[in-house]
Structure 1
């Protein structure tokens, strides 16, 4: 913009110089009128030339100013003064005036765009009746508001396009969130209901094959096939759940996945949370010197305790819970016992329950048993190998499933 303003200034000065060199030009006429003689007074002529140069510069160079309103007002004042003093205006000054008016409208300087259009109709009506003056004044009176309106229209179109883009982005985000929520719902349904039933089919088929005495080989083969098919279906479903969950993960979920997995150090926080939620007592009892554990074993123990607390809160509300960690040197025994009624509870509550605890314990080479405890309440006991010695030790079997 600065280069364009400099070019306009040079053209305006060249136009004014040509008018000064021509004796009948407006600048020369003004100099002669002010000196009172045709030859003119040298001092007056110099002042007139200096005024013409100053007005030419003020009518063009301010176009490069960063504030469109200031630029438009400065250029308008210079052009109005040029018309008032010399009864003419350079073509470069006319072009600079239109550019300044367009910029004022384009950048939302509405007051400045209104003000710069006022002087030229007044000058066109009140100025001399010469053809040169009338043509330039009428052109400015007509074209300056048109340029300002063109700039305002361009700004309005740009704002409308930006608003439309924002609306489309919001609609796309809403659609994506809706689809993500639906996929998450489907994943929950598959995990909590279908996957559990398929795993139960596999377990029951295997149990029936092993526990039914005198079963023919064909029947045992059929049950074995049923179990294998159910396990294969469960594997495929887990694969599908992985795809669905990958699609539904939000940035905050991905950030949560990058956090360290909880371990036994976080058990106190877990118990504090259980107390806050249920308003009942929850104690942690540690026996034996703590052994360094594999992170997988610590995670399994943490999740088993977490599920035990959830199970107690859901099926024995108000019951106190004791959590015990017993380091035996070869295994970590985890016990969670509440003093509730010890009645039966679904092992698939919420899609987790006892089945999830058993899976976690099996994954690290341990086992879990659960059922009503002797003397009342419900007991969950897990034995997880520490890897510091041979054998793992097994928990005593409670009386029955919950």
Structure 2
């Protein structure tokens, strides 16, 4: 029986010619050499070899971008270049006359190692699901208002730690930290006993902006290169003790997992959707009534140890990525190539649409145990009934490191 061609994709494969996400990979014969790739079905197209293999398809000026060891030079090149490169890649994998040339450039996905696809500049995480924010507010403030008074007037966010953004497959070590329950007379120190997940969608900035120049809603496509899945791991007991009055800190900064594949923003055109109706008039810089729909219909699946846990719908998010970017820069803060900003936990209105264990268990647990493995997957509707895939995000929980210099407290 003849070997199946890498161009013959399985029916419904979400990584077909309408998706073409970018990543960075290496091979066993050259593990130190990192190169750009585009996922096509169950293969990776070696972009570093494409300029020399198809000089009539790839513009000469793009050669240096595609032979870089990280996506950042391509990210910085701007939207017109992103579109030109994407068109060249699509031609390479779909034009029959190029098959013989391109076939040797396709590496089986299970034979390559995947790496963090871009150098993360800054990391910002938002809190933009009304369902998630309401559920959490009811858990923490059962006798008060579920949402703070500013929540429906601006996208709430916090600045995270870019140095602990890790690629899918990187083990997640349970963090140590201070914890204090209402019954404790004093804080204790030890491994987090309430390790949680947060299923999120991330946006990767390509084109930077100048200091003191806000990025308006209509400039979103000019600055955002692509989309990825994010798991913002959270130590709820550490977070609960430290977050008053300033917000997340050590309970969040120990690990944030992202996909190895960045799906271009343009791939989601068919999945654009209007966000939920707003309850209050928005200030002009956030008013998106006259711009393209800012919501995206991304369907997420959360699995723990191989068992489906929930299916959060990204289309239910109250604040859009364009509004998040506009708010993030309205004070004059500049964007840098490689900035990552995430949506915050994605949750829907139904019990099987919650994006974290805090919500799913109503704050009672159980939370993640050592040895647990969490996997996020997602897809969005594409043109002509196709599906647009987002690379999965998987993390395996390892025990907390042993404490030195003081007795270890039991969690």
Ranked by relative contact order (alpha carbons within 8 Å, sequence separation 6 or more), the top structure is 2
| More helix as a share of residues | 1
